[in-house]
Amino acid sequence: MEKALSGIRVLGATRMLAGPYAEILLADMGAEVLHIELPGFGDEHRHSYPQINGVGTCFLSNNRNKKSITLDLRTPEGQQIFRDLAKISDIVVENNRPGTMAKWNIGYEQLKEINPGIIMTSISGYGQTGPYRDRTGLDYVAQSIGGLMGMTGMPDGPPMRTGNAIADSLAGMFAAYGTLAALHYKQKTGLGQYVDCALVDSVAAILENLVPNYDLLGLKEKRVGNRIAWVAPYNTYTARDGYVVIGVTSNNLWDKLCRAMGREELIEHPNFATPSARVLNVDDVDEAVQAWVSHKTVEEVVLILAEAGVPSAKVHGVDTMVEDPQIKAREMFVETEYPGLGKFRVPGIVPKLSLTPGSVDSPPPTLGQHNDEIYRGLLGFSDEKMKALAEAGII
């Protein structure tokens, strides 16, 4: 079945997480992604921990559906090969330090001279402009300066990062979004363009009403743990065998929760009858909900509240999450394999397209697995040239 991005070629000079994640999103929808790696070493995530048989699991998770070619972009010969590939590609994705690609003579201004329709997407910590552009970027730093850490954590504790590298993933998503917008414009006009995506920008873009609250109401963020400052009850509660989240965002849901708990007297109680009253008395609200939850299993709570129409869910660990019937029904983890490692699961496809659905068709590539296919088949390199390039360490 043809996919939405079939026929689109992506040249990926990326490493670690943010850039490779942008590549995944394009590859899953059918783009041919050439993931360029350093000869003899590869993407750093091949070597990051944890590992199995010498292969980093982060690489295994973030590089399915791609083709791996080795190429040393630091050399003039490698840069010329990159330009040759850029001539016959639609998109370049890179996440090196700002200015690196231009220093290597393969920046956007240089590439558009040989391919005016090329789209080049750059992902960096701080972006290509601004006083911090040359600083070293990192997910942790982006969560901090972008404002996310300041609003995350318990009230009496320090700022906390999210459990995963959310800034890297967000940057990959925004980069793919910008790339597809540029691709749509190119299909209308024939013109390529440059897409500048930063980790910090990506974090700042998802802060919801944090800044309007500050501008219009003078409110600064407060760390409230699993609560939401303007809603109650909205928290994590301890059942007999685990944790469950419950969220009540309206009087209608409060009525349903009280009836489900057998506490109808709380519905019209003056301390709980309105959203603002429940927020002012949030500790008492949480105490009432916790008292009900504490005598039940997580499954009992979730089933009772599902029947009542109140949002709730089990707090999964990875072992139970991958077996959740909803997760399985949506095929959110699918099997793939890697030489010597056997089968394992990687994240499935988001979103689901009705006519041209994405899929996980090929496992993460071994280092340089597709050199022959691309260099001999696509660029027409001879055996002699392949041998010379390999001996010189260029591929």
Instruction: Report the catalytic residues.
Output: 168
Backbone angles phi, psi at 23, to 5 degrees: -60, -40
Q: How far is Cα 111 from Cα 73, in angstroms, rounded to an integer?
A: 14
Exposure class string for 346-374: b at 16+ Cβ within 10 A, else e: bebbeeeeeeeebebeebbbebbbbbeeb
